[in-house]
Structure 1
Amino acid sequence: MAVHRMILCDLPNELLLMVLEYLSSSAIATLARVCWHLHDLVNTDSLWSRLCRQEFGVESLVQWNVSSFQELYSRVLFPYRYLLGVWEGDLKYYGELMEARVDNGRILGQLWRASSSQNIDLPLYAEPLFAVEVSDKEVRTVCLYRDMKGKRATLKKCHSGSTELLEVQFKVMYDFTKTKVDSVSLRSWVREEYPPAFADIWENHGFLRQAFTNRYKSLQFRQQLVQYRPVALPPSLSSDFPLKPGIYKGTYSSHGIELILVTMEGSIVKGQKLTGDPNIPASKVTFQGLLQCPIPPDQYSSWGAAIFNHRQMLSEIRNQVDREEQEHSRRTNVESRQLTVTMLNSVPLQEHPFSVSLGFSGDLQTYPNVSLARFPSSGQVAGDGYVNPQWSLNQLVLFPSGNFAIVWMELRSVSFYCKAQEL
């Protein structure tokens, strides 16, 4: 008996389209080169509508200025997909945080900024940087930043070793170091952004004057070319432990609020600056804590109080961190996450009263009055220009909300950190 062999193209188009819905865009493009029948079928816009929706969350062509989902996918979304995500800008000392996302008929690159005041409850605000959009059938990249708005921008992928970089270049150039600042505008900005306690004294205080001027210049003027490194956001952990990995806002005295990437690997919690200051610049580690070694509650007030013990205690913390990091490098990501969750679930948590100790200064008017645990920590300090960086003894204080504080024992100050909900 003769065996009838059916080939793929013998299937009705309705069934073929159902099969194609399981394929990726690269597989669909390959299939289109098999024969004219499949080539024509691949041009069915419902296929590309699915890809736009599944990969980029785009469900409508409204505002996109294109005629089909296939055109949108092939000319805009797929070629510029490398932009999407969170990036760390390489601006001397200060850095900046940029996010690119699909937004209202364009790919929008925007800078996330924290308020220059010490009010950490204020949300981050977004400042548009560039947009990839379709105009008169041309895909173009335009600048949206302040007085450069409307100028052409160039986006370029490059590499530094194994790290993929993004270069954003504008046609207008400012020399940050030589740009003159209008004193009237600077005074107005300081009074808008900073509390009266700073706004009334900064002009007669050399350090504050320089810090505020540099901060103002970094916001108002841009270099012609800025490089961005991708920020690898840590995966969520399936644990009830209040502290979660992610991007946090942190208070840093006269430097204002800075953005910190908090990661948790094994028993180590690490804070790396995404935005920084001339003392500890962006990309540097600001603190590291050990979560498997909580400080006994009866030692809260005495732990780290004796200055002569600081070097020995710091050495023990640093050695433990080094050992943990070496062990982590030998594990797979899955093993590391499982170990981290197991360790976090075993940490004893119990409510205890909290207040800022006498003689310590803090940036908040009021702090949580209850903490769950305290952990040994080390924090990085340095002179202006990141001169002579050293590690300082700290306590990491965990609050029920998942927010936390770093008590700088030698500096006798308290920094407060809360999750940035916008990212």
Structure 2
Amino acid sequence: MAECACICGMGSLQGCRCPQQRQGPAEMAPEKNLEADRAARCCLESGGIENPMLPRPPPHCSLQDLPVEMLVEIFAQLPGTDLLSLAQVCTKFHHILHTDSIWRRRCREEFGVHENSQNLEMMGMSYPEVYVKLFHPYRHILGLWQLDTDCRGYRGLLNVVVDGLCITGWIYRPCLNTHVHGPIHFQPSFRIRLKERKSAVVECMEGRLSRPHHRHMQIWKDRFTMQCKKTDRQTYLPRWLRRDRGLGLLQKDRHEYDCLTYRRLYLPPSHPDDLIRPGLFQGNCDFYGLTTVMLSFHGKYARVTQIMGNSIERLEIHLMRRIQLPDGEFFRNFKELSRIVRKIDKQVIQEQQQLQEEGTEESEGHGWQSPAQPSIRESGAAALEDQPVRFVLPVGVESGDQNYPRTCRMCFYGMDTVTSDGFAYPRGFPGVFILFDENHFGFICLDMKFFMLYGRVQNTFQNVEAPSPQAFLEMLKNIQS
């Protein structure tokens, strides 16, 4: 019988559709390998003999062909937002994604939920329902928020966290007797939970009767609003502000606080060249009570931005203008301290005027995007290596907190700008920024002859990282405006 001598192997010539003619392997050109491979398959399908020297084509495999157990393990490692789209691919995936263990793992890894499945069964719920109806639609409100109000109101602080199978909003209510040391104490403001396999409901937990009642919530990217029809809850304005505003304004305040708007807060990113770790600090003042501020570093500057209080305050610290401390202790003579600070202040004004005349603006700082200035890096190292200097308040300077550290590390020139009741001072108040240690700093305002002590907030917060440096700077601008 005549035989086919094509490259795919020896086979019967009868029925072979291969156009190849007999030729040796050495005569094969490399560019004809693909054509020869197609010919081999042609001969094999027509009854030829397979050449064992050629690799067999890979078998056709689909994700749907995998065992269900393997698919469950694969799906459990994907983000929950991807699983919602994956359930629409085919009927098999849709049924597999009803497996409780997949969503139990998503709830644990994404939201820290460690509930027993039996507890869910007793409540008539499942993990897919908890994720899809509760955690997924309300995931954007987790984190730290600031009550958005005008200068006449009091800016509060709200922390929204996952609390078991609920989402709870904890609000901070300031007190005049609170010290700057220790954690911030929050009280429950609202909770979001599922009720008997239905959609999630928002319940208000404020009011003199402490009876949960319905709240209406609208969520945007970086803010959300809450509206409550109950008016029996007390306003959380400070006592001195409630006393000064009178009954009529309090009724207006109560009406305004029935529809609240919150804006998202990001904590400042940390950089190795920062003098201390940035974050939230609290300060106490006899007149204003406790206030919460945010310390952030921006290259040649550091900023202390007020987060909570009845006014908008920003302290700008010039890290390139360090004040040399006398040997042994801080300035005891206020006149000498004032002379040095005002001399620096005059230089700053002249430089700013020169920049305005030249039509150029100094950069607001690069912070974590670029390395800090060498002198700033050296100052940070010096703050850790130098011996602490004894700190005493200058004669004539008052303080809202007498429990301040008795030693300090460094001092810098700073400018305090305050906006209160819609009025902004033209320049602000020069003063001295005092770095005590990793958890404390202070500021002496020369014009008011007042010393403010700030202590680091000991609370830990989740979902407070800014998605980008630009997003954090934009948030600061919104606070200051």
TM range (shorter): 0.7 to 0.9
Identical columns (%):
22
TM-superposition CA deviations, 1:172-198 (whole Å, max 9, x none): 24899xx9x9xxxx9xx96xxxxxxxx
Give the corresponding residue for 1:150.
212
**Aligned ranges 1:37-48 → 2 under 5 Å:** 37-48=92-103
Give the corresponding residue for 2:429.
392
Give the corresponding residue for 2:402.
365
**Aligned ranges 1:5-404 → 2 under 5 Å:** 5-61=60-116, 65=123, 67-91=125-149, 92-117=152-177, 119-121=179-181, 123-138=183-198, 139-147=200-208, 149-158=211-220, 164-173=222-231, 209-210=243-244, 223-238=257-272, 241=275, 243-277=276-310, 281=311, 284-298=312-326, 301=331, 302-305=336-339, 309=343, 312-313=346-347, 315=349, 326=363, 328=365, 335-336=369-370, 338-339=371-372, 343-344=376-377, 346-347=379-380, 348-349=382-383, 350=386, 351-381=388-418, 386=423, 388=425, 390-404=427-441
TM-score normalized by structure 1?
0.79
Cα distance, 1:244 vs. partner? 1.9
* Aligned partner of residue 292 in structure 1, secondary structure: strand
Contact 1:174 1:224 in 2 (8 A): no
Flag the 1:324–1:120 CA change in 2: closer, same or farther, 3 A.
farther
For 2:260 and 2:362, locate their aligned partners in 1 and report how far apart those are by CA, in whole Å: 31
For 2:345 and 2:273, locate their aligned partners in 1 and report how far apart those are by CA, in whole Å: 34
Whichever residue aligns with residue 49 of structure 1, its letter is R
After superposing the two structures, state which structure 1 stretch, 78-87 or 264-273, moved more: 264-273
Cα distance, 1:103 vs. partner? 1.0
* Aligned partner of residue 9 in structure 1, secondary structure: helix
Whichever residue aligns with residue 79 of structure 1, its letter is P
TM-superposition CA deviations, 1:298-335 (whole Å, max 9, x none): 3963343379747515526868999997253xx5x752
* Aligned partner of residue 225 in structure 2, secondary structure: strand
Give the corresponding residue for 1:194.
none
After superposing the two structures, state which structure 1 stretch, 309-318 or 378-387, moved more: 309-318
* Aligned partner of residue 152 in structure 1, secondary structure: strand
TM-score normalized by structure 2?
0.70
For 1:246 and 1:164, locate their aligned partners in 2 and report how far apart those are by CA, in whole Å: 20
* Aligned partner of residue 72 in structure 2, secondary structure: helix
Cα distance, 1:70 vs. partner? 1.1
**Aligned ranges 1:402-413 → 2 under 5 Å:** 402-413=439-450
For 1:389 and 1:174, locate their aligned partners in 2 and report how far apart those are by CA, in whole Å: 41
For 1:94 and 1:214, locate their aligned partners in 2 and report how far apart those are by CA, in whole Å: 17
TM-superposition CA deviations, 1:36-65 (whole Å, max 9, x none): 222211222221112111111112157764
Contact 2:301 2:318 in 1 (8 A): yes
Contact 2:215 2:226 in 1 (8 A): yes
Whichever residue aligns with residue 223 of structure 1, its letter is Y
Cα distance, 1:67 vs. partner? 2.4
Structure 1: give runs of 5+ residues left out of the alignment. 191-201
Whichever residue aligns with residue 257 of structure 1, its letter is L
Contact 2:113 2:164 in 1 (8 A): no
For 2:131 and 2:374, locate their aligned partners in 1 and report how far apart those are by CA, in whole Å: 39
For 2:457 and 2:379, locate their aligned partners in 1 and report how far apart those are by CA, in whole Å: 27
Flag the 1:394–1:308 CA change in 2: closer, same or farther, 3 A.
closer
Flag the 1:316–1:70 CA change in 2: closer, same or farther, 3 A.
farther
Contact 2:284 2:291 in 1 (8 A): yes
TM-superposition CA deviations, 1:270-294 (whole Å, max 9, x none): 11111122xxx1xx34311022332
Flag the 1:327–1:361 CA change in 2: closer, same or farther, 3 A.
closer
For 1:121 and 1:219, locate their aligned partners in 2 and report how far apart those are by CA, in whole Å: 30
Contact 1:393 1:408 in 2 (8 A): yes
* Aligned partner of residue 339 in structure 2, secondary structure: coil
Flag the 1:394–1:312 CA change in 2: closer, same or farther, 3 A.
same
Whichever residue aligns with residue 247 of structure 1, its letter is L
Whichever residue aligns with residue 407 of structure 2, its letter is V
